[in-house]
Protein backbone atom coordinates (compact mmCIF):
# COMPACT_ATOMS: atom_id res chain seq x y z
CA UNK A 1 0.00 0.00 0.00
CA UNK A 2 1.29 3.48 -0.78
CA UNK A 3 0.06 6.99 -0.12
CA UNK A 4 0.34 9.35 -3.09
CA UNK A 5 2.54 12.33 -2.52
CA UNK A 6 1.02 15.66 -1.64
CA UNK A 7 1.37 17.54 -4.90
CA UNK A 8 -0.87 19.86 -6.91
CA UNK A 9 -4.36 20.82 -5.67
CA UNK A 10 -4.44 18.05 -3.04
CA UNK A 11 -7.58 17.63 -1.04
CA UNK A 12 -8.11 15.41 1.98
CA UNK A 13 -11.69 14.23 1.80
CA UNK A 14 -13.96 11.98 3.76
CA UNK A 15 -17.62 11.85 2.77
CA UNK A 16 -19.87 11.55 5.78
CA UNK A 17 -23.36 10.14 5.97
CA UNK A 18 -24.70 13.68 5.82
CA UNK A 19 -23.02 14.29 2.48
CA UNK A 20 -20.39 16.66 3.87
CA UNK A 21 -16.85 16.56 2.61
CA UNK A 22 -14.40 16.96 5.48
CA UNK A 23 -10.67 17.55 5.04
CA UNK A 24 -9.27 14.51 6.81
CA UNK A 25 -6.72 11.82 6.10
CA UNK A 26 -7.26 10.44 2.60
CA UNK A 27 -5.25 12.33 0.03
CA UNK A 28 -6.78 12.80 -3.42
CA UNK A 29 -4.58 14.70 -5.85
CA UNK A 30 -5.27 15.92 -9.35
CA UNK A 31 -1.65 15.30 -10.28
CA UNK A 32 0.42 12.45 -8.79
CA UNK A 33 3.94 11.29 -9.40
CA UNK A 34 6.00 9.37 -6.87
CA UNK A 35 4.53 7.62 -3.87
CA UNK A 36 5.25 7.94 -0.18
CA UNK A 37 6.65 4.54 0.69
CA UNK A 38 7.12 5.15 4.42
CA UNK A 39 5.52 7.77 6.67
CA UNK A 40 6.01 8.39 10.39
CA UNK A 41 3.49 10.84 11.88
CA UNK A 42 3.81 9.69 15.54
CA UNK A 43 0.15 10.64 15.94
CA UNK A 44 -0.77 7.34 17.59
CA UNK A 45 2.04 7.65 20.15
CA UNK A 46 4.34 5.20 18.35
CA UNK A 47 6.85 5.14 15.50
CA UNK A 48 4.60 2.94 13.36
CA UNK A 49 4.77 3.31 9.58
CA UNK A 50 1.47 4.82 8.43
CA UNK A 51 1.99 3.66 4.84
CA UNK A 52 4.38 0.71 4.62
CA UNK A 53 5.43 -2.15 6.91
CA UNK A 54 8.61 -0.58 8.34
CA UNK A 55 7.48 0.12 11.90
CA UNK A 56 10.08 1.89 14.01
CA UNK A 57 10.94 1.84 17.72
CA UNK A 58 11.13 4.72 20.20
CA UNK A 59 14.46 4.16 21.98
CA UNK A 60 15.76 5.15 25.44
CA UNK A 61 12.63 6.86 26.66
CA UNK A 62 11.74 8.87 23.56
CA UNK A 63 8.25 10.23 24.19
CA UNK A 64 5.46 11.53 21.98
CA UNK A 65 3.81 14.86 22.80
CA UNK A 66 0.10 15.62 23.07
CA UNK A 67 0.03 16.77 19.44
CA UNK A 68 1.97 13.81 18.03
CA UNK A 69 5.62 14.90 17.91
CA UNK A 70 8.50 12.59 18.83
CA UNK A 71 10.35 14.43 21.63
CA UNK A 72 14.10 13.67 21.79
CA UNK A 73 16.26 14.81 24.70
CA UNK A 74 19.58 15.27 22.88
CA UNK A 75 21.29 12.78 25.20
CA UNK A 76 20.44 9.27 24.07
CA UNK A 77 16.90 9.36 22.70
CA UNK A 78 16.40 8.31 19.08
CA UNK A 79 14.08 6.42 16.75
CA UNK A 80 15.25 3.15 15.23
CA UNK A 81 13.74 2.33 11.84
CA UNK A 82 14.20 -1.09 10.17
CA UNK A 83 16.89 -0.36 7.58
CA UNK A 84 16.65 -3.74 5.89
CA UNK A 85 12.90 -3.32 5.37
CA UNK A 86 13.23 0.21 4.02
CA UNK A 87 16.17 -0.94 1.85
CA UNK A 88 17.27 2.54 0.83
CA UNK A 89 19.97 1.08 -1.44
CA UNK A 90 17.33 -0.39 -3.75
CA UNK A 91 16.00 3.06 -4.69
CA UNK A 92 17.22 4.77 -7.84
CA UNK A 93 15.83 8.09 -6.57
CA UNK A 94 14.52 9.16 -3.18
CA UNK A 95 13.11 12.09 -1.23
CA UNK A 96 13.63 12.26 2.53
CA UNK A 97 11.29 14.84 4.08
CA UNK A 98 10.75 16.03 7.65
CA UNK A 99 9.02 18.61 9.83
CA UNK A 100 10.85 19.36 13.09
CA UNK A 101 11.83 21.87 15.78
CA UNK A 102 15.21 22.11 17.53
CA UNK A 103 15.68 22.92 21.22
CA UNK A 104 19.47 23.15 20.83
CA UNK A 105 21.93 23.23 17.93
CA UNK A 106 25.07 21.24 18.82
CA UNK A 107 27.49 20.63 15.96
CA UNK A 108 26.81 17.50 13.89
CA UNK A 109 23.54 16.53 15.51
CA UNK A 110 21.56 14.33 13.12
CA UNK A 111 17.98 14.59 12.06
CA UNK A 112 18.32 11.35 10.08
CA UNK A 113 21.16 8.99 9.20
CA UNK A 114 20.99 5.89 6.97
CA UNK A 115 24.19 3.80 6.86
CA UNK A 116 26.55 1.75 9.02
CA UNK A 117 29.13 2.10 11.79
CA UNK A 118 32.59 0.50 11.49
CA UNK A 119 34.65 -1.17 14.22
CA UNK A 120 36.14 2.21 15.19
CA UNK A 121 32.65 3.65 15.79
CA UNK A 122 32.88 5.81 12.68
CA UNK A 123 30.13 6.12 10.09
CA UNK A 124 30.43 4.56 6.66
CA UNK A 125 28.33 4.18 3.50
CA UNK A 126 25.67 6.66 4.55
CA UNK A 127 23.21 9.42 3.78
CA UNK A 128 22.59 11.92 6.55
CA UNK A 129 21.17 15.35 7.20
CA UNK A 130 22.40 17.65 9.96
CA UNK A 131 20.54 20.91 10.66
CA UNK A 132 23.58 22.19 12.58
CA UNK A 133 26.90 20.84 11.34
CA UNK A 134 30.30 21.39 12.91
CA UNK A 135 31.19 24.26 10.53
CA UNK A 136 27.89 25.98 11.32
CA UNK A 137 25.65 25.15 8.37
CA UNK A 138 22.87 22.73 7.49
CA UNK A 139 23.95 19.94 5.14
CA UNK A 140 22.94 16.74 3.41
CA UNK A 141 25.75 14.24 2.85
CA UNK A 142 26.21 10.99 0.92
CA UNK A 143 29.31 8.79 1.20
CA UNK A 144 30.46 5.43 -0.18
CA UNK A 145 33.66 5.29 1.92
CA UNK A 146 34.85 3.67 5.16
CA UNK A 147 35.11 5.82 7.20
CA UNK A 148 32.66 8.03 5.37
CA UNK A 149 34.44 11.35 5.83
CA UNK A 150 37.17 10.17 3.43
CA UNK A 151 34.85 10.65 0.46
CA UNK A 152 31.68 12.68 0.76
CA UNK A 153 29.45 14.67 -1.58
CA UNK A 154 27.66 17.49 0.18
CA UNK A 155 24.78 19.91 -0.38
CA UNK A 156 25.02 22.64 2.26
CA UNK A 157 23.55 25.99 3.14
CA UNK A 158 24.71 28.43 5.81
CA UNK A 159 23.97 29.21 8.54
CA UNK A 160 22.78 26.34 10.73
CA UNK A 161 19.05 26.30 11.39
CA UNK A 162 17.61 28.26 14.30
CA UNK A 163 16.26 26.74 17.49
CA UNK A 164 12.68 27.18 18.75
CA UNK A 165 11.42 27.47 15.16
CA UNK A 166 9.35 25.10 13.03
CA UNK A 167 11.35 23.77 10.07
CA UNK A 168 10.56 21.72 6.96
CA UNK A 169 13.42 20.00 5.15
CA UNK A 170 13.50 17.81 2.05
CA UNK A 171 16.54 16.09 0.55
CA UNK A 172 16.21 14.61 -2.94
CA UNK A 173 18.78 12.22 -4.43
CA UNK A 174 18.86 10.83 -7.96
CA UNK A 175 21.42 8.25 -9.05
CA UNK A 176 23.48 9.81 -11.83
CA UNK A 177 21.87 13.17 -11.12
CA UNK A 178 21.91 15.62 -8.23
CA UNK A 179 21.40 15.85 -4.50
CA UNK A 180 19.15 18.83 -3.70
CA UNK A 181 18.44 20.37 -0.30
CA UNK A 182 15.21 22.29 0.38
CA UNK A 183 14.29 24.33 3.45
CA UNK A 184 10.70 25.46 4.04
CA UNK A 185 9.79 24.62 0.47
CA UNK A 186 12.67 26.52 -1.15
CA UNK A 187 15.77 25.03 -2.77
CA UNK A 188 18.84 26.16 -0.83
CA UNK A 189 21.61 23.88 -2.18
CA UNK A 190 22.37 21.34 -4.91
CA UNK A 191 25.36 19.25 -5.87
CA UNK A 192 26.01 16.83 -8.78
CA UNK A 193 26.51 13.23 -7.72
CA UNK A 194 29.00 10.57 -8.67
CA UNK A 195 27.93 8.40 -5.75
CA UNK A 196 24.89 6.15 -5.80
CA UNK A 197 22.16 5.12 -3.40
CA UNK A 198 23.22 1.55 -4.16
CA UNK A 199 26.34 2.03 -1.98
CA UNK A 200 24.39 3.11 1.13
CA UNK A 201 24.27 0.47 3.87
CA UNK A 202 20.90 -0.78 5.09
CA UNK A 203 22.31 -1.67 8.52
CA UNK A 204 20.97 1.43 10.29
CA UNK A 205 18.08 3.81 9.57
CA UNK A 206 18.07 6.33 12.40
CA UNK A 207 16.08 9.42 13.31
CA UNK A 208 17.88 11.60 15.84
CA UNK A 209 21.10 9.58 16.04
CA UNK A 210 24.32 9.40 14.02
CA UNK A 211 26.23 6.46 12.58
CA UNK A 212 29.26 8.24 14.14
CA UNK A 213 28.79 7.29 17.78
CA UNK A 214 30.62 10.38 19.02
CA UNK A 215 28.19 12.83 17.40
CA UNK A 216 25.40 14.32 19.52
CA UNK A 217 21.84 13.09 19.31
CA UNK A 218 19.09 15.35 18.04
CA UNK A 219 17.66 17.70 20.65
CA UNK A 220 14.11 18.69 19.78
CA UNK A 221 10.92 17.33 18.29
CA UNK A 222 10.27 15.53 15.02
CA UNK A 223 6.72 16.11 13.85
CA UNK A 224 6.74 13.88 10.77
CA UNK A 225 9.20 11.99 8.56
CA UNK A 226 8.51 10.67 5.04
CA UNK A 227 10.33 8.64 2.41
CA UNK A 228 9.29 8.87 -1.25
CA UNK A 229 10.37 6.55 -4.07
CA UNK A 230 11.24 9.49 -6.34
CA UNK A 231 13.07 12.81 -6.29
CA UNK A 232 10.30 15.38 -5.93
CA UNK A 233 10.56 18.44 -8.14
CA UNK A 234 10.93 21.94 -6.71
CA UNK A 235 7.22 22.64 -7.26
CA UNK A 236 6.26 19.36 -5.62
CA UNK A 237 8.38 20.10 -2.55
CA UNK A 238 6.80 23.55 -2.32
CA UNK A 239 3.32 22.00 -2.58
CA UNK A 240 4.12 19.52 0.19
CA UNK A 241 5.43 22.30 2.43
CA UNK A 242 2.29 24.35 1.76
CA UNK A 243 0.01 21.40 2.51
CA UNK A 244 1.88 20.65 5.73
CA UNK A 245 2.27 17.56 7.82
CA UNK A 246 -0.56 15.31 9.00
CA UNK A 247 -1.62 16.98 12.24
CA UNK A 248 -3.01 14.91 15.10
CA UNK A 249 -6.66 15.68 15.76
CA UNK A 250 -6.98 16.96 19.33
CA UNK A 251 -8.61 20.36 19.75
CA UNK A 252 -9.50 20.83 16.09
CA UNK A 253 -10.86 23.74 14.08
CA UNK A 254 -13.88 22.83 11.95
CA UNK A 255 -14.25 25.37 9.14
CA UNK A 256 -17.48 25.58 7.14
CA UNK A 257 -16.46 26.73 3.66
CA UNK A 258 -20.06 27.69 2.78
CA UNK A 259 -20.75 29.98 5.75
CA UNK A 260 -17.23 30.75 6.99
CA UNK A 261 -18.08 29.56 10.49
CA UNK A 262 -15.19 28.20 12.59
CA UNK A 263 -15.71 25.99 15.62
CA UNK A 264 -13.16 24.63 18.07
CA UNK A 265 -14.02 20.99 18.79
CA UNK A 266 -12.59 18.32 21.06
CA UNK A 267 -11.88 15.43 18.66
CA UNK A 268 -10.51 13.10 21.37
CA UNK A 269 -12.15 10.63 23.74
CA UNK A 270 -11.17 12.64 26.84
CA UNK A 271 -11.83 16.21 28.02
CA UNK A 272 -9.42 18.86 26.74
CA UNK A 273 -8.60 21.97 28.79
CA UNK A 274 -6.97 24.93 27.05
CA UNK A 275 -6.09 28.49 28.01
CA UNK A 276 -4.79 29.89 24.72
CA UNK A 277 -5.38 29.36 21.02
CA UNK A 278 -4.14 30.92 17.82
CA UNK A 279 -5.45 30.47 14.28
CA UNK A 280 -3.16 31.74 11.52
CA UNK A 281 -3.44 32.15 7.74
CA UNK A 282 -0.41 33.00 5.64
CA UNK A 283 -2.72 34.12 2.82
CA UNK A 284 -4.91 36.37 4.97
CA UNK A 285 -8.05 34.18 4.91
CA UNK A 286 -9.33 35.17 8.36
CA UNK A 287 -12.23 37.60 8.95
CA UNK A 288 -11.56 39.47 12.19
CA UNK A 289 -14.74 41.56 11.82
CA UNK A 290 -17.04 38.52 11.79
CA UNK A 291 -14.97 36.67 14.39
CA UNK A 292 -17.05 35.95 17.51
CA UNK A 293 -14.21 35.62 20.00
CA UNK A 294 -14.57 33.85 23.32
CA UNK A 295 -13.97 37.26 24.85
CA UNK A 296 -16.95 38.67 22.91
CA UNK A 297 -19.06 35.78 24.17
CA UNK A 298 -17.85 36.19 27.78
CA UNK A 299 -17.23 32.46 27.54
CA UNK A 300 -16.38 30.70 30.85
CA UNK A 301 -15.69 34.05 32.50
CA UNK A 302 -14.64 33.69 36.14
CA UNK A 303 -15.18 37.34 37.04
CA UNK A 304 -14.58 40.92 36.04
CA UNK A 305 -10.96 41.12 37.20
CA UNK A 306 -7.89 41.22 35.00
CA UNK A 307 -7.20 37.84 33.42
CA UNK A 308 -10.43 36.29 34.73
CA UNK A 309 -11.88 35.86 31.26
CA UNK A 310 -10.77 35.23 27.71
CA UNK A 311 -8.99 38.19 26.11
CA UNK A 312 -8.11 38.80 22.47
CA UNK A 313 -4.35 38.98 22.02
CA UNK A 314 -1.45 39.11 19.60
CA UNK A 315 -2.56 41.68 17.05
CA UNK A 316 -5.82 40.52 15.48
CA UNK A 317 -5.73 40.57 11.67
CA UNK A 318 -6.60 38.61 8.54
CA UNK A 319 -3.43 36.60 9.22
CA UNK A 320 -3.96 35.75 12.89
CA UNK A 321 -6.69 35.44 15.50
CA UNK A 322 -5.60 34.68 19.06
CA UNK A 323 -6.97 34.65 22.59
CA UNK A 324 -5.66 33.76 26.03
CA UNK A 325 -7.16 33.14 29.48
CA UNK A 326 -4.54 34.25 32.01
CA UNK A 327 -6.23 33.11 35.20
CA UNK A 328 -8.57 30.42 33.94
CA UNK A 329 -9.28 27.97 31.15
CA UNK A 330 -11.99 26.27 29.14
CA UNK A 331 -12.68 22.54 29.13
CA UNK A 332 -14.46 20.83 26.25
CA UNK A 333 -15.82 17.32 26.65
CA UNK A 334 -15.38 14.76 23.85
CA UNK A 335 -17.03 16.06 20.64
CA UNK A 336 -18.09 19.28 22.40
CA UNK A 337 -17.51 22.43 20.38
CA UNK A 338 -17.61 26.19 20.72
CA UNK A 339 -18.31 28.52 17.81
CA UNK A 340 -16.02 31.40 16.81
CA UNK A 341 -18.48 32.84 14.31
CA UNK A 342 -17.87 33.42 10.59
CA UNK A 343 -14.14 34.00 11.05
CA UNK A 344 -13.10 32.37 7.75
CA UNK A 345 -13.17 34.30 4.48
CA UNK A 346 -14.79 31.77 2.14
CA UNK A 347 -13.11 33.44 -0.85
CA UNK A 348 -9.65 32.95 0.67
CA UNK A 349 -7.13 30.11 0.62
CA UNK A 350 -7.72 27.06 2.79
CA UNK A 351 -4.40 27.53 4.60
CA UNK A 352 -5.42 27.86 8.25
CA UNK A 353 -3.18 26.55 11.03
CA UNK A 354 -4.24 25.98 14.64
CA UNK A 355 -2.13 26.02 17.80
CA UNK A 356 -3.31 25.92 21.41
CA UNK A 357 -1.84 25.57 24.88
CA UNK A 358 -2.90 23.78 28.05
CA UNK A 359 -2.61 25.06 31.64
CA UNK A 360 0.54 23.00 32.26
CA UNK A 361 2.35 24.98 29.54
CA UNK A 362 2.11 22.41 26.76
CA UNK A 363 1.91 24.03 23.31
CA UNK A 364 0.23 21.85 20.71
CA UNK A 365 -0.61 21.98 17.03
CA UNK A 366 -3.75 20.36 15.71
CA UNK A 367 -5.82 19.68 12.63
CA UNK A 368 -8.00 22.06 10.65
CA UNK A 369 -11.01 20.35 9.01
CA UNK A 370 -12.75 22.03 6.07
CA UNK A 371 -16.43 21.13 6.01
CA UNK A 372 -17.90 21.69 2.54
CA UNK A 373 -21.15 21.01 0.74
CA UNK A 374 -24.65 22.38 1.16
CA UNK A 375 -26.08 22.85 4.62
CA UNK A 376 -29.76 22.18 5.20
CA UNK A 377 -31.50 24.92 7.18
CA UNK A 378 -35.00 23.85 6.07
CA UNK A 379 -35.67 22.19 9.41
CA UNK A 380 -39.39 21.53 8.85
CA UNK A 381 -38.99 20.18 5.32
CA UNK A 382 -41.36 22.60 3.55
CA UNK A 383 -38.74 23.46 0.89
CA UNK A 384 -38.24 27.05 2.03
CA UNK A 385 -35.89 28.45 4.67
CA UNK A 386 -38.00 30.89 6.67
CA UNK A 387 -39.14 31.96 10.13
CA UNK A 388 -40.65 28.59 10.93
CA UNK A 389 -37.19 27.06 10.62
CA UNK A 390 -35.77 29.70 12.96
CA UNK A 391 -38.41 28.72 15.54
CA UNK A 392 -37.35 25.07 15.22
CA UNK A 393 -33.76 26.09 15.92
CA UNK A 394 -34.81 28.33 18.83
CA UNK A 395 -36.87 25.58 20.52
CA UNK A 396 -33.85 23.26 20.68
CA UNK A 397 -30.98 25.70 21.25
CA UNK A 398 -28.60 24.85 22.86
CA UNK A 399 -28.43 21.09 22.26
CA UNK A 400 -24.92 19.72 22.70
CA UNK A 401 -25.15 16.29 21.10
CA UNK A 402 -27.42 13.86 19.26
CA UNK A 403 -29.25 16.61 17.39
CA UNK A 404 -31.14 15.93 14.17
CA UNK A 405 -31.73 18.26 11.24
CA UNK A 406 -35.37 18.64 12.30
CA UNK A 407 -34.16 19.94 15.66
CA UNK A 408 -32.06 22.69 14.08
CA UNK A 409 -28.75 20.99 13.21
CA UNK A 410 -28.07 22.61 9.83
CA UNK A 411 -24.45 21.57 9.35
CA UNK A 412 -24.71 17.93 10.43
CA UNK A 413 -22.28 18.15 13.34
CA UNK A 414 -24.70 16.70 15.89
CA UNK A 415 -25.50 19.83 17.90
CA UNK A 416 -27.70 22.91 17.75
CA UNK A 417 -25.59 26.04 18.19
CA UNK A 418 -24.74 29.44 16.74
CA UNK A 419 -23.13 27.84 13.67
CA UNK A 420 -26.53 26.40 12.72
CA UNK A 421 -28.18 29.78 13.21
CA UNK A 422 -25.51 31.28 10.96
CA UNK A 423 -26.33 28.68 8.32
CA UNK A 424 -30.04 29.54 8.65
CA UNK A 425 -29.23 33.22 8.27
CA UNK A 426 -27.13 32.66 5.12
CA UNK A 427 -29.95 30.71 3.44
CA UNK A 428 -32.93 32.68 4.75
CA UNK A 429 -35.61 33.23 2.11
CA UNK A 430 -34.26 30.62 -0.27
CA UNK A 431 -35.42 27.16 -1.19
CA UNK A 432 -33.84 24.34 0.77
CA UNK A 433 -31.67 23.50 -2.25
CA UNK A 434 -29.14 25.93 -3.77
CA UNK A 435 -30.06 29.63 -3.45
CA UNK A 436 -32.05 31.06 -6.35
CA UNK A 437 -30.26 34.00 -7.95
CA UNK A 438 -32.13 37.27 -7.58
CA UNK A 439 -34.89 36.05 -5.25
CA UNK A 440 -35.96 38.61 -2.67
CA UNK A 441 -37.73 37.78 0.62
CA UNK A 442 -41.09 39.39 1.36
CA UNK A 443 -41.06 42.43 3.72
CA UNK A 444 -42.47 40.35 6.58
CA UNK A 445 -39.68 37.84 6.10
CA UNK A 446 -37.13 40.64 6.17
CA UNK A 447 -38.50 41.80 9.52
CA UNK A 448 -38.23 38.30 10.94
CA UNK A 449 -34.71 38.02 9.59
CA UNK A 450 -33.76 41.22 11.35
CA UNK A 451 -35.09 39.81 14.61
CA UNK A 452 -33.19 36.61 14.01
CA UNK A 453 -29.98 38.58 13.43
CA UNK A 454 -30.44 40.15 16.84
CA UNK A 455 -30.90 36.68 18.29
CA UNK A 456 -27.71 35.57 16.52
CA UNK A 457 -25.75 38.41 18.11
CA UNK A 458 -27.16 37.58 21.52
CA UNK A 459 -26.45 33.89 21.03
CA UNK A 460 -22.84 34.53 20.12
CA UNK A 461 -22.29 36.65 23.21
CA UNK A 462 -23.18 33.99 25.70
CA UNK A 463 -21.56 30.60 26.34
CA UNK A 464 -22.53 27.90 23.87
CA UNK A 465 -21.96 24.59 25.56
Residues 216 and 102: their CA atoms lie apart, in Å, by 13
**Any idea which architecture 34-243 has in CATH?**
Sandwich (2.60)
For 273, the 3-state DSSP assignment is strand
Give residue 433's pLDDT.
40
For 215, the 3-state DSSP assignment is coil
Give residue 258's pLDDT.
84
For 153, the 3-state DSSP assignment is strand
Give residue 35's pLDDT.
86
Cβ contact 143:151 at 8 Å: yes
In the chain, the N- to C-terminal Cα span, in Å, equals 42
Cβ contact 371:257 at 8 Å: yes
Written as one string, the DSSP assignment of 69-92 is: -EEEESSS-EEEE-HHHH-GGG-S
Spell out the domain ranges in the chain: 34-243, 251-372, 387-459
Give residue 55's pLDDT.
98
Helix (H) or strand (E) run with residue 260 in it: none
- Taking the whole predicted model, whether its pTM rises above 0.85 is answered as no
Cα-only R_g, the chain:
25
Q: CATH topology for 251-372?
A: Immunoglobulin-like (2.60.40)
Residues 445 and 449: their CA atoms lie apart, in Å, by 6
What is the CB neighbour count within 10 angstroms for residue 394? 14
Sign of the CA dihedral with 305 first, then 310, 314, and 317 last: negative
pLDDT in tens, the chain (465 residues): 332 333 223 323 322 323 333 332 333 332 334 689 999 999 999 999 999 999 999 999 999 999 999 999 999 999 999 999 999 999 999 999 999 999 999 999 999 999 999 999 999 999 999 999 999 999 999 999 999 999 999 999 999 999 999 999 999 999 999 999 999 999 999 999 999 999 999 999 999 999 999 999 999 999 999 999 999 999 999 999 988 999 999 999 999 888 899 999 999 999 999 999 999 999 999 999 999 999 999 999 998 888 999 999 988 999 999 999 999 999 999 989 999 999 999 999 999 999 999 999 999 999 999 887 556 788 887 767 777 888 888 888 888 887 888 898 887 777 888 888 877 876 666 655 433 333 333 334 334 444 444 444 344 333 333
Amino acid sequence: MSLQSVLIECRRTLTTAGGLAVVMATLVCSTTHGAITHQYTFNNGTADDAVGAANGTLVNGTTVTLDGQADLDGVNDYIDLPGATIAINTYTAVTLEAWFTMDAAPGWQRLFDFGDTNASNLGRNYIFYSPSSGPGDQRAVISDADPGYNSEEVALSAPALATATDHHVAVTITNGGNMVLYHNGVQVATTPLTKSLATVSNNFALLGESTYTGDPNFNGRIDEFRIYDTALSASEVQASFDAGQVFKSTLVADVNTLTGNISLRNATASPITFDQYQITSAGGSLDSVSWSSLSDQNYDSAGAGQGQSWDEAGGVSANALAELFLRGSTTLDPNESVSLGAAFNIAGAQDLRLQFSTPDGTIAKSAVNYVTGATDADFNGDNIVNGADFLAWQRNYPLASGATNAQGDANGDGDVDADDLGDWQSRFGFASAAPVAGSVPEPSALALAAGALAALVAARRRPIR
